[in-house]
């Protein structure tokens, strides 16, 4: 009974790490896009906003085969995988001590 409870706790920890690892880079990208769009409403900073949006779009299209949305999802998936592996390693090391 103790091992089933322990396994459920590990699975829950891995699931939470996976969700956070996926959502965090997506939230950061959306916040950057929102900030650059809001920056475009300030009269003297329209050019800076356009340059920043274009640079961010090019960055995302690099990872998404020409699609910004796909690039965002790929980055989120990569972060989720790394977070999952790190949490699994930390859980393993903590249990073996």
Span 47-91, pLDDT tens digits: 999 999 999 999 999 999 999 999 999 999 999 999 999 999 998
Span 37-48, pLDDT tens digits: 999 999 999 999
Q: Which residues contact 86 (CB under 8 A, 6 or more apart)?
A: 17
Phi, psi for 65 (deg, rounded to 5): 55, 45
Q: Which pLDDT belongs to residue 74?
A: 97
- Distance from C-alpha of 63 to C-alpha of 35, rounded to nearest angstrom: 21
- The SS3 of residue 1 is coil
Single pTM value for the model: 0.86
Q: Which pLDDT belongs to residue 2?
A: 60
- Please spell the DSSP secondary structure of 35-49, one letter per residue: HHHHHTTSGGGHHHH
């Amino acid at each position: 009974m103790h091992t089933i409870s322990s396994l459920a706790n590990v699975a829950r920890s891995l699931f939470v790490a996976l969700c956070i690892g996926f959502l965090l880079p997506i939230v950061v990208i959306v916040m950057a896009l929102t900030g650059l769009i809001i920056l475009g409403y300030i009269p003297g900073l329209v050019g800076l906003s356009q340059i920043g949006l274009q640079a961010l779009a090019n960055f995302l299209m690099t990872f998404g085969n020409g699609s910004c949305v796909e690039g965002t999802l790929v980055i989120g998936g990569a972060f989720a995988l790394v977070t999952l592996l790190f949490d699994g390693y930390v859980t393993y090391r903590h249990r073996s001590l």
